[in-house]
């Protein structure tokens, strides 16, 4: 039987933005099903899980690959078995190209890998979870699905085009699910991080620091995973309950156009 805490599935949860999101929710009283590709025996995952369960003792971790149909089905079944009901899904899992190539040199293998995880896997995971959420007992609050995309959904980077394409597709995915699920009491949002300090950006952080110092963002600092986490927490806690299908930028004002 479900306890009186709200419950969430967070993909890509053990590091970076996913860690910031899952810890914010856990510290706010949510029970988390954290999903990641690394084994639960991985040293870094064990350290993360210790921190997560210290904040939220009933939280747990599932290892799996959302791009694989069998793994996806298992993840959904184990998540609902552990949580009983799911109040929020946070689609954070995603990868960058292994090698940054100009789009004229992009390989089909790289394109397929990035879109299989970032777009196809996320779409069908959401489809499965949303169907199960609709079948749950009615709630006295609106449940939440959040897609973590990127400013790359609208900002061109020709040396990682597959990533940009995947995030642009995910942006429309969020809008489609928002339209479809509103009558079922589920609000759907797209959260677009800007430059956030994670493993994915570590290799180009010197470039980003220089750009920010030269005025790329009105708020002159690199974003942190907890910046995204606090935004997602506000959405899941219902502070935008009369909004759905919205895009929330967490980018230090980077998308402001000014003269």
Residues designated catalytic:
163
d(CA 182, CA 166) in angstroms, rounded, equals 24
d(CA 107, CA 88) in angstroms, rounded, equals 35
Alpha-carbon distances, residue 134 vs 11, 99, 171, 219 (angstroms): 20, 40, 22, 40
- What is the distance, to the nearest Å, from the Cα of residue 146 to the centroid of all Cα atoms in its chain? 7
d(CA 188, CA 147) in angstroms, rounded, equals 8
Strand partners of residue 145: 89, 188
d(CA 254, CA 238) in angstroms, rounded, equals 26
Tokens representing residue 133 in the block: 């959420």
DSSP annotation string for 56-87: -TT-EEEE--TTSHHHHHHHHHHHHHHHSS-S
Query: What are the φ and ψ backbone dihedral angles of 122, each rounded to 5 degrees?
Result: -65, -40
């Amino acid at each position: 039987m479900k306890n009186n805490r709200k419950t969430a599935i967070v993909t890509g949860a053990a590091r970076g933005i996913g860690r910031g999101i899952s810890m914010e929710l856990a510290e706010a009283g949510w029970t988390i099903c954290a999903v990641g590709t690394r084994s639960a025996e991985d040293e870094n995952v064990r350290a993360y899980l210790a921190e997560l369960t210290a904040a939220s003792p009933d939280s747990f971790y599932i290892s799996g690959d959302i791009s694989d149909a069998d793994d996806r089905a298992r993840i959904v079944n184990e998540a609902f078995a552990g949580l009983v009901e799911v109040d929020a899904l946070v689609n954070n899992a995603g990868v960058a190209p292994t090698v940054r190539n100009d789009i004229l040199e992009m390989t089909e293998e790289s394109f397929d890998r990035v879109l299989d995880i970032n777009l196809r896997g996320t779409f069908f995971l959401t489809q499965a979870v949303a169907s199960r959420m609709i079948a749950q007992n009615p709630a006295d609050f609106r449940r939440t699905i959040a897609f973590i995309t990127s400013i790359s959904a609208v900002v061109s980077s020709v040396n990682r085009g597959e990533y940009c394409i995947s995030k642009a597709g995910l942006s429309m995915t969020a809008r489609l699910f928002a339209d479809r699920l509103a009558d079922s009491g589920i609000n759907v949002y797209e959260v677009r991080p800007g430059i956030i300090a994670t493993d994915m950006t570590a290799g180009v952080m010197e470039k980003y620091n220089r750009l920010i110092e030269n005025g790329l963002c009105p708020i002159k600092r690199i974003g942190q995973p907890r910046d995204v986490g606090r935004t997602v927490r506000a959405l899941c806690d219902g502070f935008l309950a009369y909004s759905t299908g919205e895009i929330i930028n967490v980018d230090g004002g980077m998308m402001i156009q000014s003269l």
